[in-house]
Amino acid sequence: MPATLDLHRLAMPLVRPFRTSKGEETVRDVLVARFCDSDGIVGWGESAADAEPIYFPEYIDGVRLTIERVLLPLLSPLAAAGPLTVGRVRAAMSGVPGNQLARGLIETAVLDAELRRHELPFVDWLGSASRPIRVGVSVGIPGDLDTLLSWVAGYLEDGYRRVKLKIAPGWDLAPVRAVREAFGDDLPLQVDANQAYTAADIPLLTRLDAYGLLLIEQPFARHDLVAHAALAARRGTPVCLDESVLSLDDAMTAIRLGAADVVNIKPSRVGGYLTSRQIHDVCLANGVPVFCGGTLETAVGRAANLALATLPGFTLPGDISATSRYYAADIGRAFELDADGCLAPPTGPGFGVEVDAAAIEEFGIESVRHEVG
Ligand code: NPG
């Protein structure tokens, strides 16, 4: 039978609106891929693409078109010559510049299927022992400080041990001060600006140094490594890059320029888990801590991210919260925090998540099947 790739666009209602400096989401529009190889073995992947190009240059319709017009035609000749493995698929797509989200979606679904073919859990393929992963919670921008404090109190009650506050011009020093005053100096706390500031704001941002933050994430535009390096050079709050790092080259350049004290690795953003692993390795070798970023993943992306975060360089808690922080119902198993504020990666083959076809039907707004080959 020919291998197939199904692209499902889902609309997943969020339990609470998620607002950042870039805008607000109440429903997560998400693209997932189901790859079925020529022996009927199925793997799933999830894209971080949004409905519009907001955080990343790519977006859902663009990713779909790139897959249909550019990537699948590259894979079809491969299918005739044997099973579609991650190695062959990755090599075939390697000449395509950019388009990390599109390439990563295919690569990830093929990886899950290949691991299942070998009955190998992802953590074993990574070569790291499965262990509970310390995770944090990312708190959107509410209307006022009281709401913020009640949200943070609720998340601490739920068991989260690290809090990330979204900040934006006009919503920075005051929320950080309020959270420190309410919950103390020992709470591991970090902030994420999603590119909302410019180098002219460096004096303002250095005032955050007084609050003992773990890091400040992506304060400046993604291309502006110069401003990130200038802030990092002050040796105050560690500077973390997210949107600036779309590839291994980006990560190496940022480290070389002193623009990244920390790197947020979002697998989809960099083109999948193989590149994520390479970025992890380079960061580890250079003494740059990493954490696993999140984009409100479904069970598919959450499971794979948890496994990735077992690698030794992931020394900071990830943006990989429990399912209930985002969704009342998911397309696969729910993940729950343990008493230490950790989540455990699944133990089954591949990413270890069985996707619920009824949930794909329920949340699906568009589905299309492509034959590969
Ligand atoms: O826990 O999954 C999560 C959310 C973490 O804040 C988070 N993600 O800027 O990193 C971010 C943000 C994001 C969400 C980015 C959706 C892109 C899309």
- The CATH number linked to 45 is 3.30.390.10
pLDDT of residue 169: 97
The percentage of the chain sitting over the pLDDT mark of 90, rounded to a whole number, equals 96
Provide the H-helix boundaries in 118-165. Answer: 122-126, 145-158
Partner residues linked to 29 by β-bridges: 11
Q: What does DSSP assign to residue 68?
A: I
Q: Half-sphere exposure of residue 106, counting CA atoms within 13 Å on the CB side?
A: 32
Question: What residues flank ligand 1, with Cβ below 6 Å?
Answer: 20, 48, 50, 55, 138, 192, 194, 242, 293-297, 319, 321
Whether residue 113 is found in the same domain as residue 130: no
Output the CA 134–ligand 1 centroid distance in Å: 17
- Residue-wise pLDDT for 324-341, tens only, equals 999 999 999 999 999 999
pLDDT at residue 130 greater than cutoff 90 = no
The span from the CA of 232 to the CA of 294, in Å, is 23
Whether 266 is catalytic: yes
Whether residue 128 is found in the same domain as residue 28: no
Whether residue 100 is found in the same domain as residue 226: no
Whether residue 211 is found in the same domain as residue 112: no
- Residue-wise pLDDT for 248-266, tens only, equals 999 999 999 999 999 999 9
Whether 22 is catalytic: no
Report residue 56: phi and psi, to 5°.
Answer: -125, 155
Q: What domain range includes position 246?
A: 124-343
Q: Which atom of ligand 1 is nearest to the CA of 218?
A: 9
Q: Where does the pLDDT of residue 129 fall: very low under 50, low under 70, confident under 90, or very high at 90 and above? A: confident
Residue 265 lies in a domain: yes
Residues in CB range of 310: below 8 A, 6 or more apart: 123, 126, 128, 129, 130, 131, 133, 345
pLDDT of residue 57: 95
CA quadruple 206, 135, 253, 50: dihedral sign: negative
The percentage of the chain sitting over the pLDDT mark of 70, rounded to a whole number, equals 100
Inter-residue contact 291 to 262 (CB < 8 Å) = yes
The span from the CA of 281 to the CA of 290, in Å, is 10
pLDDT at residue 83 greater than cutoff 90 = no
Residue 230 lies in a domain: yes
Choose the weakest-confidence range: 1-5, 42-46, 161-165, 291-295.
Answer: 1-5
Whether residue 54 is found in the same domain as residue 152: no
What CATH number corresponds to the domain at position 165?
3.20.20.120
Taking alpha carbons only, the member of 348, 299, 347 closest to residue 324 is 299
Whether residue 216 is found in the same domain as residue 77: no
pLDDT at residue 373 greater than cutoff 80 = no
Task: State the average pLDDT over residues 45-74.
Answer: 97
**What is the rounded average pLDDT for all residues in the chain?**
97
Q: Where does the pLDDT of residue 81 fall: very low under 50, low under 70, confident under 90, or very high at 90 and above? A: confident
Whether residue 132 is found in the same domain as residue 95: no
pLDDT at residue 223 greater than cutoff 90 = yes
Task: State the average pLDDT over residues 125-138.
Answer: 94
Task: State the average pLDDT over residues 290-297.
Answer: 98
Whether residue 215 is found in the same domain as residue 249: yes
Residue nearest to atom 13 of ligand 1 (CA): 295
**Tokens 């070389």 belong to residue:** 256
Whether residue 37 is found in the same domain as residue 90: yes
Whether residue 161 is found in the same domain as residue 271: yes
Taking alpha carbons only, the member of 51, 40, 89, 38 closest to residue 67 is 89
- Residue-wise pLDDT for 5-25, tens only, equals 999 999 999 999 999 989 999
Residue 349 lies in a domain: no
- Residue-wise pLDDT for 152-210, tens only, equals 999 999 999 999 999 999 999 999 999 999 999 999 999 999 999 999 999 999 999 99
The span from the CA of 133 to the CA of 346, in Å, is 11
Overall number of domains in the chain: 2
pLDDT at residue 53 greater than cutoff 80 = yes
Output the CA 65–ligand 1 centroid distance in Å: 24
Residues in CB range of 224: below 8 A, 6 or more apart: 198, 199, 244
Whether residue 164 is found in the same domain as residue 275: yes
pTM of the model: 0.97
